[in-house]
Amino acid sequence: MEILICMKQTFDTEEKIFIQNGEIDDDGVERIINPYCEYAVEEGIRIKEAHGGTVRLITIGGAEAEAAIRTAMAMGVDEGYRLDLTDFPADSDEQTTSECIVQLIKQKQIPYDVILCGYMSIDNGTAQVGPRIAELLGIPHISTITSLTVDGRQVQVERDVEGDLEKVESSLPILLTAQQGLNEPRYPRLPDIMKAKRKPLHRMKWDELRVDVQMIQARTKKVAILPVEEKETGQILSGTIKEQSQELIRLLHEEAKVL
């Protein structure tokens, strides 16, 4: 079984976001594997453990992304590709990312029966890259899966549909995106952490890909990045329902001044 994972590195969920000159300040931040991508990594390794094969992984990012790749390797990924889009001479968006990944797969002839992605990244949160890759490769895709069974060339999937459960069947090759609940990612074992640094990691720059910058540059434009307003502590009213209602109306009128 040839398993391919597309993984993104994101800010640690505990990091506070600071905006400087209209851009997010990433100086000295702690980074993690995007949590949804971590489910994808875990699932890929489980498929390999059950059916044999090789788990490969692609990440787009600078040198700092290698920490995430080594973490995935310590979990059990066999081989990694890091594609560096730094200095890409135009704006980039999800279309750029997916085109580059697909070009990398084709140029390096990376084999795949199953491609696994996180269903979205917790930073930009567009949930586009997985489906776009499937479209460009001309293979089926199923999103937000919470359970996966591979049986020969058949796959049975359970997916989360806005809280409901949908059972879907399809066949390999296929692209799947992982939703929370798919599995419980493992902690890397210490011997595997030590082995990870000896696993093959290929580094490529965007200009080594046969891509047309005009064709793949961003089709969307970032207008502004704004901080999330800090939520102020709420107030719990007490008393009978009638008293609470009266107090609420008074507050809306006198303090919030919306009435």
Residues between 85 and 144 that touch other proteins (CB under 8 A):
none
Buried b (16+ CB within 10 A) or exposed e, 174-186: bbbbbbeebbebe
CB neighbour class for 76 (10 Å; exposed up to 12, middle 13-18, buried from 19): buried
Residue 191 binds other proteins (CB under 8 A): yes
Neighbours of 16 (CB within 10 A): 8
Closest CB to other proteins among residues 64, 207: 64
Q: With contacts defined by CB under 8 A, how many residues of the chain interact with other proteins?
A: 20
Closest CB to other proteins among residues 60, 74: 74
Smallest distance from other proteins to CB 17, Å: 11
Which of 38, 43, 66, 94 binds other proteins (CB under 8 A)? It is: 66
Q: Is the dihedral of CA 190, 79, 217, 118 positive or negative?
A: negative
Which region among 126-134, 154-162, 188-196, 235-243 touches other proteins (by CB under 8 A)? Answer: 188-196
Q: Is the dihedral of CA 81, 87, 89, 95 positive or negative?
A: positive
Smallest distance from other proteins to CB 190, Å: 3
Residue 44 binds other proteins (CB under 8 A): no
Smallest distance from other proteins to CB 195, Å: 10
Give CA angle at 208 (204, 213), nearest 5°. Answer: 115
Interface mask toward other proteins for 195-224; x: CB under 8 A: -xx---------------------------
The C-alpha atoms of residue 35 and residue 119 are separated, in whole angstroms, by 10
Residue 55 binds other proteins (CB under 8 A): no
Which of 188, 206, 211, 216 binds other proteins (CB under 8 A)? It is: 188
The C-alpha atoms of residue 214 and residue 91 are separated, in whole angstroms, by 10
The C-alpha atoms of residue 241 and residue 7 are separated, in whole angstroms, by 51
Note the residues at the interface with other proteins (CB under 8 A).
16, 18, 25, 27-29, 66-67, 70-71, 74, 187-191, 193-194, 196-197
